[in-house]
Structure 1
Amino acid sequence: MKTRWWALAALCFAELLVMVDNTIVNVALPTLARDLDAGISGLQWIVDAYTLVFAGLLLTGGYLGDRFGHRRMLLTGIAGFAAVSVLAASSQTLGQLIAARAGLGLFAALVFPATLAIIVAVFVESKERAVAVGVWAATSGIAVAIGPVLGGWLLENFSWASVFWVNLPVAAIAVVAIVAVVPGTRPERVARFDLIGLLLSVVGLGLLTYSVIEGPHFGWADPRTIAGLLVAVGALGLFAWRELTIDHPILNIRLFANRHFATAAAMISVAFFALFGFIFLITQYFQAVKGYSPFEAGLRTLPFAIVMAVFSPVAMTLSQRFGPRPVVVAGAAFMSAGFGVVEVSSRTSGYWELIIWAMSLMAMGLAFISGPCTQVIMDALRPEQAGAGSAVNDTTRELGGTLGVAVLGSVLTSVYTAGVVDRLSALGLPRSITGLAEESVMAGVEVARNAPAVAGDQMLVAVQEVFVDGLHSAVWVAVAITAVAAIAAAYLLRGAPGERSPGGDTESASAPVDLALAHSTDGQRQDIRPVP
């Protein structure tokens, strides 16, 4: 095997390290709710503190890789990730754990864009690059699904801190492999860093996520929620305006003037919005409604990873043969259908009869979107833009995932908190009991299990049914978004590189001549065209 393929394996292993952390805590959420006294919003923050900082700093990570060398940033990120994992494992309070998760997101933002940038630099031949990018994209999706399995096994045998201690040996192996087989990259001459742009993006994304997560608790009409959303939109608008007007943008907004680039980025964001939101919901469903242990719950997400692994190379082959548009459209349709299947589920639905088919459709859809869209994004960039381009690609994933947990989790919370109080009050239970159950579904399950037998059974059924009602409401959002995305992709990806024309010929891999105008590092304007 040639050295570059060993390098791909090492880079995917490093990618696995940071992507697994997106979801490894999901099966630990019920345990964390008990041990750290966390409500639903607290659980959302345990997940989203990581993805929010990860997404907010990915552009910075890409810039630093371009400036100082991607392998150097990759190794720095892995070392910092391991160090902060120790702090996360040692957390004694909810606030400490959320802060540590944010720290993990910071160093993950150095690792993730470096992996794809090095792959693009190492694989110069187009067909080999397509295969390598497909493997990288598949690893991302598989890692997200593997997280609950690994986390469940660790929780079955150790404390919740083990989901962070496991990062240390994985990080050590990754460092050794990278030093051994991954080549260094030459630092690029880049413009000075746009600190104001970074701050505006972090404030905008942070306030948006905060307002969506806390909306069910403050109230959607509460001045704090409305003000937070308005300020977030204003900050993101200022960020876009600044990036369009300065000579050294942290994000070249003009890249999104290319229809194919913008659509591919949006489709990846939609896919990971649906994926992260679903895993946040389904791991709680498995434990609170079906009564599975953490490991049993994690194992039941494993088919997602298997289907993703099987269909990712199929998706890349089909995309090379027919172009990305039909593959991506089919992927969004598969995801929408998978969520649609969830809508007919109940608290008594069987895993093998229903749930596994919903997950398989979603996994197939993610495979059909992720690889082909990543290839479209990277084909639109010059090699010297690999760091920034991979950061844009990665940002769409993490931002979509962050909003998926925030939005779908908040829809669930709104329905659950309103419904559980009504159902339990109708059973004649006092406010002291309904208030405890209102905190989270696992809190409601614990209260029911500690109640006398008959009353406890009634409470448990009520809590589980209200949770399933909230699950259905949240999933309708995902059904609608993925269905609209399929329709949009069918229109907007027309003429994408590799698409077959009506006469049977393949379209040129080149995008329109003027993809965007940007400033070179010496201040002269230059055209940015895709790599042939």
Structure 2
Amino acid sequence: MATKEAPAVASRRWAALFFIGLAQLMIVLDGTVVNIALPSLQRDLGISDGDRQWIITAYTLAFGGLLLLGGRIADYTGRKRTFLIALLGFTAASALGGAASGFETLLVARALQGAFGALLGPSALSLLTVMFTLPKDRAKAFGIWGAISAAGGAVGLLAGGALTDYLDWRWCLYVNIPIAVIAVVGGYVMLTESRREGRARLDIPGVLLVSAGLVAVVYATGRAEADGWRSATVVGLLAAGVVLLAAFVLVESRVPQPLLPLRVLAHRTRGAAYLSVGLTGLGMFGAFLFMTYYMQVAKGYSPIRTGVAFLPMVMMVLVSAAGLTARLMPRVPPRTLIVPGMLISAAGLLWMTTLDPGTGYAGGVLVTGLLFGLGAGMIMPVAINYATHGVDPGDSGVASASVNAAQQVGSSIGLALLNTIATSATVDYLASHGGSPAIAKQALVEGFGTASAWAAGILTVGALIVAALMNAARPEEQSAAEDSGDAAPLLAHS
């Protein structure tokens, strides 16, 4: 039988989770908090329309390109040490960005935020993975973590609107400083160091290949929004990214100490979990984008009112992830939560197709937000748990980085693809109905509805794939088998 923890040890772990969760909130929040402030900072710093995308892109490129390296650094140099250094670096970069007097300084600050975020995300999740091993405690911890991951983006929209309206766009960056300071102090006191045994040998070819490949894919999808998917630049970058990532897989199968051991990805349950996280990122950030523009452009909401309108979705995520899912996760196989969650999220996106400029909040955005919040809260805790479940403790950092990479690539490709679909549908509607202001709003909503239907279809297909792939046993059964020394039959099917 699994032994119980001493009360003091258990309470210390839950206290540590609070500070790790603050770091994760800061990372997720930073992915959207600047978006609402973008028009204000653009005017203040005199940034051109052509350059403004780099404020977002600089962060996503550095974050996505360096994630796997950050995970491996955490494994070998110490997860607590990496966590604390990354927090301090993220704080300094946020302060630099908030104080920026020009475009160049802000660009450097955002790139540094992304780089330190690529250290912080994997180290935080890997600390959680090695701290919580008992199924019930792990379910509660990942329920909280999943709620933060799913709700953080919407919290960022609310915080961005409030800070921009009532203070200044610079506070969208300064807000990270007090959060990080609290996390640093608490993490230093509460966390215990853990690292992979043995001497570190950095897989330089693997680092270069995967970083260049991820940067090429993320940058290409960002360019696709403006240049179109058929442009030579986008096609060339996507092709280069695919070739580089294929070469990375080949190298990793041959080097003695790979950056990303292929056994981490080859596991059926973990592979399905990464797919779930990536597709949920696609749907989640697509929903944020469409709902934000629908409320601000079609309905005329202010930034702060838009942020408040997301609150029911945030609350539903918290109830679903930390309540329903945390209770069921130790008792049921993972796909019995993830698959319905993906289908419920798809239903939320489909509801967007029923909206028009005159639809009321209660019958429109509220329904979409509640459905998507319920679904995301069922997916994220379980998927993140099983994306790191059963991994060798020495590989927990790079497995955690793979989760972050799946979400980053999924959301980047998804946003670019869905935005292209929405724009094309809007242009087609205008071409056939005219260009009056009323028609323009309806055309915008038609575009969002078309793209949401595509996103719902992608999530539905993903749910079917996950249902076929993810056939892991219930955690309690797996734990009992491991305690009795008979885990092999269960693991063979997972």
TM-score by length of 1: 0.83
Partner of 2:440: 463
Q: Specify the code of the residue in structure 2 equivalent to 1:238.
A: A
Distance apart, 1:415 and its partner CA: 4.3
Partner of 2:129: 120
Aligned partner of 1:346 among 346, 356, 379: 356
Residue 150 of structure 1 pairs with residue 152 of structure 2: no
* Distance (whole Å) between structure 1 residues aligned to residue 160 and residue 370 of structure 2: 21
Cα-Cα RMSD: 2.8
User: Helix, strand or coil: the match of 1:149?
Assistant: helix
From the superposition, tell whether residues 211 and 387 of structure 1 become closer, same or farther in structure 2 (CA, over 3 Å): closer
* Distance (whole Å) between structure 2 residues aligned to residue 249 and residue 325 of structure 1: 30
From the superposition, tell whether residues 258 and 292 of structure 1 become closer, same or farther in structure 2 (CA, over 3 Å): same
Partner of 1:19: 28
Partner of 1:497: 473
Q: How does 1:122-271 map to 2 (within 5 A)?
A: 122-186=131-195, 188-271=197-280
* Distance (whole Å) between structure 2 residues aligned to residue 331 and residue 181 of structure 1: 34
* Distance (whole Å) between structure 2 residues aligned to residue 474 and residue 17 of structure 1: 29
Q: Specify the code of the residue in structure 2 equivalent to 1:20.
A: L
User: Helix, strand or coil: the match of 1:202?
Assistant: helix
From the superposition, tell whether residues 83 and 351 of structure 1 become closer, same or farther in structure 2 (CA, over 3 Å): same
Between 324-333 and 409-418, report the one with greater CA deviation. 409-418
Q: Specify the code of the residue in structure 1 equivalent to 2:467.
A: A
The answer as to whether partners of 1:265 and 1:396 remain within 8 angstroms in 2 is yes
The answer as to whether partners of 2:196 and 2:393 remain within 8 angstroms in 1 is no
Distance apart, 1:44 and its partner CA: 5.3
From the superposition, tell whether residues 55 and 220 of structure 1 become closer, same or farther in structure 2 (CA, over 3 Å): closer
In structure 2, the gaps of 5 or more residues are 1-7
User: Helix, strand or coil: the match of 2:358?
Assistant: coil
1:211-263, Cα deviation, whole Å (9 max, x unpaired) = 23323543433333322222222122112221222222211223222211101
Aligned partner of 2:315 among 293, 300, 306: 306
From the superposition, tell whether residues 507 and 106 of structure 1 become closer, same or farther in structure 2 (CA, over 3 Å): same
* Distance (whole Å) between structure 2 residues aligned to residue 37 and residue 466 of structure 1: 29
The answer as to whether partners of 1:274 and 1:478 remain within 8 angstroms in 2 is yes
The answer as to whether partners of 1:213 and 1:407 remain within 8 angstroms in 2 is no
Distance apart, 1:191 and its partner CA: 3.9
Residue 61 of structure 1 pairs with residue 70 of structure 2: yes
* Distance (whole Å) between structure 1 residues aligned to residue 400 and residue 289 of structure 2: 26
From the superposition, tell whether residues 48 and 368 of structure 1 become closer, same or farther in structure 2 (CA, over 3 Å): farther
Partner of 1:293: 302
TM-score by length of 2: 0.89
Q: Specify the code of the residue in structure 1 equivalent to 2:332.
A: F
Count of aligned pairs between the two proteins? 479
User: Helix, strand or coil: the match of 1:410?
Assistant: helix
From the superposition, tell whether residues 219 and 152 of structure 1 become closer, same or farther in structure 2 (CA, over 3 Å): closer
* Distance (whole Å) between structure 2 residues aligned to residue 26 and residue 9 of structure 1: 26
User: Helix, strand or coil: the match of 1:358?
Assistant: helix
From the superposition, tell whether residues 407 and 38 of structure 1 become closer, same or farther in structure 2 (CA, over 3 Å): farther
From the superposition, tell whether residues 393 and 218 of structure 1 become closer, same or farther in structure 2 (CA, over 3 Å): closer
Q: Specify the code of the residue in structure 2 equivalent to 1:185.
A: S
Q: Specify the code of the residue in structure 2 equivalent to 1:155.
A: T
Partner of 1:368: 378
* Distance (whole Å) between structure 1 residues aligned to residue 386 and residue 155 of structure 2: 26
From the superposition, tell whether residues 288 and 92 of structure 1 become closer, same or farther in structure 2 (CA, over 3 Å): farther
* Distance (whole Å) between structure 2 residues aligned to residue 341 and residue 481 of structure 1: 15
* Distance (whole Å) between structure 2 residues aligned to residue 290 and residue 110 of structure 1: 40
From the superposition, tell whether residues 352 and 465 of structure 1 become closer, same or farther in structure 2 (CA, over 3 Å): same
1:112-153, Cα deviation, whole Å (9 max, x unpaired) = 111122222222433222322222222222222211111111
Distance apart, 1:198 and its partner CA: 2.1
* Distance (whole Å) between structure 2 residues aligned to residue 82 and residue 373 of structure 1: 29
Partner of 1:448: none
* Distance (whole Å) between structure 2 residues aligned to residue 59 and residue 253 of structure 1: 13
* Distance (whole Å) between structure 2 residues aligned to residue 170 and residue 298 of structure 1: 20
From the superposition, tell whether residues 215 and 110 of structure 1 become closer, same or farther in structure 2 (CA, over 3 Å): closer
Aligned partner of 2:339 among 329, 336, 340: 329
Between 46-55 and 70-79, report the one with greater CA deviation. 46-55
Q: Specify the code of the residue in structure 2 equivalent to 1:158.
A: L
Distance apart, 1:513 and its partner CA: 8.6
The answer as to whether partners of 1:74 and 1:115 remain within 8 angstroms in 2 is yes
* Distance (whole Å) between structure 1 residues aligned to residue 312 and residue 413 of structure 2: 24
The answer as to whether partners of 2:19 and 2:182 remain within 8 angstroms in 1 is no
